[in-house]
Structure 1
């Protein structure tokens, strides 16, 4: 089940330092970021193995999540927030602000066979989901 964390942040007159550690299991295997996405929907999948941590470093975006029993929407608006998605969390990221930079940290490297694109049958988005990018 997805979980929203407030990351430990140290503030000083020299600026802020926010720490990402002990958030997802295993070793970080993949890091990527999404920017200049506009209102386009991204993702539209879940995983067999991969855990993902999402941090909106700049701007904001929305994340829809469905784990098969529960649907949630999260608005990421601060680099101090970290949304952790477990493998069973089918998700879409959208409504990116013009200045949004969404960082994704994963405990698995890219493997096309780890992706499950079909949404859960209880999704309120059934019938409204168009093809979205697979990242």
Structure 2
């Protein structure tokens, strides 16, 4: 049976932690900004650390920990954050690159892309990165 909890949790965190939607730490002009729909590299780095709460950590009592879901979730969060590398839809075009801005529509589109990719990596391909838990 498939465990969709890590995927759904990662998807929800992607939406809620998208810099500029609810808040951004650090902001562009203050320490914390709320609902600015802008972002910066520091905020993406800071908020990507929060996606590590998506860790499944493997089965209890196991000697190996599976970091695959955590690594995939954090990498996709950083790469798909609207405005860092690209934004779909952009403000004046279909796609804009590196504009450090976002919108509700682009967060929705990027979250759908995130959901699709994380499902492919964790369910279809089954990416695992095992480390010694001791």
Q: Do they superpose with TM above 0.5?
A: no
Question: Comparing both structures, which one devotes a greater share of its residues to strand?
Answer: 1
TM-score range, shorter chain: under 0.3
Question: Comparing both structures, which one devotes a greater share of its residues to helix?
Answer: 2
Q: Which has the higher contact order (CA 8 A, sep 6+)?
A: 1
- Taking structure 2 as the reference length, what is the TM-score of the superposition? 0.22
